[in-house]
Amino acid sequence: MAKKSIVTWIAVILVLLWTLVPLYWFAKMAFQTPAEISVFPPHLYPHQPTISGFFNVLGYPYTSRSGEVFIAAGQAGQVKMGLLNSLILASIVTCITTVVVVPLAYTFARLEFQHKNKLLFAILLSVALPPISIMIPFYILFVKIELAGTLLGLVLVTLTITIPFVAWMLLGFFRNLPPVERLARIDGFSRFGAFVKIVIPMAKVGIAVGAIISFLFAWNEYTFAQILVNGTPATTIPASISGFLFQHPEPEHLAASIIFSLIPPFIVAYLLQKHIAKMNIVEPLG
Amino acid sequence: MAKIYLEHLHKNYGESVALNDLTLHIEDKELIVFLGPSGCGKTTSLNCIAGIEQPTSGRIHFDGQDVTDVPPHRRNIAMVFQSALLYPHLTARDNIRISLRISRISKQDIDRQVEEAAKLLDIHGLLDKLPFHMSGGERQRVATAKAIVRNPSVFLMDEPLASLDAAMREDLRAEIVVLQKKLGTTMVFVTHDQVEAMTMGDRIAIMQAGALQQVGTSDEIYSSPVNTFVAGFVGSPPMNFFQGAIEKRDEEHRFKHTKFHVKLPEAVVQRSEEPLEAKSVTLGVRPHHMTLSETPEEGALKGQIYAVERLGKETVVIVQYGGEVKFKAIVPPSFRQSMGDVVYVLPQAEHIYLFDSNTGRNLLCQKKQASASPARSSLSDLNG
């Protein structure tokens, strides 16, 4: 047992290092001056920490105590728009995905109807397609119907990924719920009433996890955003961060905007973490 | 509080037949058990009585009133499902309370009734727990409380004890019977466990492949099964069957098997309604009505002991003959032979059953019970 727990600890530490070291490196860069970042060998922590990057990336110049002036980032407008647009995009996508997916997954999981398996396979297929393969058709279509460069267009494209993916995930969850529908019939619920008043409250953990996943997906989605909205007023945060690549190098600004982009998903995950921990696909209720 | 009359119920799922012409009278205050192997239609019939499923054809009557098209919550029934199903996200109290939501009584009355039901089943300490935190037996009690709180005229129980361990099952079995007698509510109990059925039911309805085979008390079913299915399904270890034919020689009837023959006593022959002579029959005999001996006897089957299971109060001997064929015999614990020994076996002629080889029908009518076929037994219920 003792041996096993040591192995477990080593595994946990390795996973944490894998995830946290790059994150730390960026966080460190966000608090450094451009001069310090270019030092070799690199400092393991900021020797003269500064928060100038955070101001600059939001469009404000910053004067340090020593009188040094850091001017606002050129990409600041895009970053600010990106943060706002991403928040709108992720919220809308999460709402629509949840509203569509919950009845969809429930229907497939608990009801019998014709061609069920074929339809299920079609859903799986739409998750299996690599996004890049439908990029060009979507782009041409959106240019023609004037959805390119709009948030609405991006919402629509993102939904084509989140809906089948989350539906597939929730399907197993609903399938493993105990068969309370018959009990609900005896207690005088209609089919729809049982779904709304019994099944949804019962499945709230799974639904919450599905919502988190669609929020995070919409927030992080890069491929479609890069093609459809980058450089327009509808840009999202992943697309606007990528804008740093083609400019005079400002690594502290890049790092600061990445830190900003981590905040909302972090809050969402933190608020719903107890549900994530409870989520168990095989046995949904423990 | 309610008589139930099932009238020619049929239920098909596409091609497959779940219920085939089920006609049955359930008496008021009776505890009737539907017994049968899985897929025999017992749960389907229960769901039809509950109104969760609609029969393809046939009618259901409660106290002479046709309720076939009445939705479940207006039938005044309560149901306990397999593994004591509860709403997993609600506490025991809320689970019980939800049974009363359609009864349109005041909140105080609901609370009072929940308390009463909790007292009756001794689950006060559980009321604020979630089903997930209860043991199987506790969940079973809560599910029963949820059922009785509505004061239903019919209880329907769908294998409620199936997921419990053996000791718990025995306790709750008795508890359910006592409760049912105390409340005087008609109960339909579905199970595939013959011990549960035999111990609990006032009457037992045995089903197979969607059709009712026999209805009767445990004694009737055990001592005079209507066919080979009932005979083989009830009793443990199950009845042994031997294929053979009846021969008549010198005014004596004999059952002749390829490996043994046995003389039929006159009392047995007289119980047959039709001439037995030259008929091809299946001889049935329960394991404890077999005689094993070490020395050859006239007509006896020569076999080899395949295994001996000593249970203390009795010993089960598995005998093998003619290659792969095996049967079980129960003998007193003093039986001393062991694996591989040769034994000579004879059925005790006064305890045998004879079944028609083609239809499986019991050819011997019992002294007391006149009716033997399922159709007739339900008819006699109707008249009685």
Q: pLDDT of A118-147, one tens digit each?
A: 998 888 888 788 878 888 888 999 999 999
pLDDT digits (tens, 9 = 90+) for B62-84: 998 899 999 888 888 999 988 78
Asked if domains B4-231 and B232-365 share a fold, the reply is: no
Angle ∠(B189,B192,B198) on CA atoms, nearest 5: 65
What is the pLDDT, as a whole number, of residue A17?
A: 95
Q: Is the pLDDT of residue A250 over 70?
A: yes
Average pLDDT over residues A204-227: 89
CA distances from A68 to A73, A74, A137, A256 (A): 16, 18, 50, 19
Q: Is the pLDDT of residue B106 over 70?
A: yes
Where in the sequence is the domain holding A98, given as residue range(s)?
76-236+263-278
Q: Quick check: A280 pLDDT over 80? A: no
Is B49 part of the contact surface with chain A (CB cutoff 8 Å)? no
Structural domain tally of chain A? 1
Please give the pLDDT value at position B256.
Answer: 85
- Please give the average per-residue pLDDT across A39-43, as a whole number: 88
Of A179, A188, A204, the CB nearest to B85: A179
pLDDT value of position B376? 38
Q: Which of A120-124, A168-172, A253-257, B371-375 has the lowest mean pLDDT?
A: B371-375
CB B351 within 8 A of CB B222: no
* Residue A179 lies inside a defined structural domain of this protein: yes
Q: Which residue of chain B is at minimal alpha-carbon distance from A204?
A: B89
Check A187 against B47: CB less than 8 A apart. Answer: no
Distance from C-alpha of A139 to C-alpha of A230, rounded to nearest angstrom:
13
Closest Cβ–Cβ partner in A182, A187, A285 for B98 = A187
Residue A155 lies in a domain: yes
Whether cis (ω within 30° of 0) applies to the bond prior to A41 is: yes
CATH of the domain at A230: 1.10.3720.10
In a domain, A224, yes or no: yes
> What is the per-residue pLDDT for A19?
92
- Cα B192 to Cα B14: distance, rounded to the nearest angstrom: 25
Domains of chain B, residue spans = 4-231, 232-365
Rounded mean pLDDT of chain B? 86
For strands B154-158 and B186-191, give the pairing.
Answer: parallel
Q: For residues B264 and B241, what is the distance between their CA atoms, to the nearest angstrom?
A: 16
pLDDT, one tens digit per residue, over A64-97 is 888 888 888 878 888 999 999 999 999 999 999 9
A36 within a domain of the structure (yes/no): no
Is residue A112, in this structure, part of any structural domain at all?
A: yes
Tokens representing A240 are 């606007």
Residue B326 Cα to chain centre, angstroms:
25
**Cα–Cα distance between A230 and A212 in angstroms, integer?**
25
The CATH class for the domain spanning B232-365 reads mainly beta
Mean pLDDT of B234-238: 88
Cβ–Cβ contact B85 with A under 8 A? yes
**How high is the pLDDT of residue B369?**
43
| Residues B153-188 pLDDT 10s | 899 999 888 878 888 888 888 888 998 998 899 999
Sign of the CA dihedral A117, A92, A218, A266? Answer: negative
CB-based contact A179 B98, cutoff 8 Å? no
B258 and B332 in contact (C-beta within 8 Å)?
no
Q: What is the DSSP letter of B339?
A: T
Confidence (pTM): 0.76
Domain B4-231 in CATH 3.40.50.300? The answer is yes
**When comparing pLDDT for A178 and B371, which is higher?**
A178
In a domain, A255, yes or no: no
pLDDT exceeds 60 at position A61: yes
The minimum CA-CA distance between A205 and chain B, rounded to whole Å, is 11
Coil vs helix vs strand at B256: strand
A24 within domain boundaries? no
At A2 the pLDDT is: 53
- Please check whether residue A102 lies inside any domain of the structure: yes
pLDDT for the residue numbered B380: 40
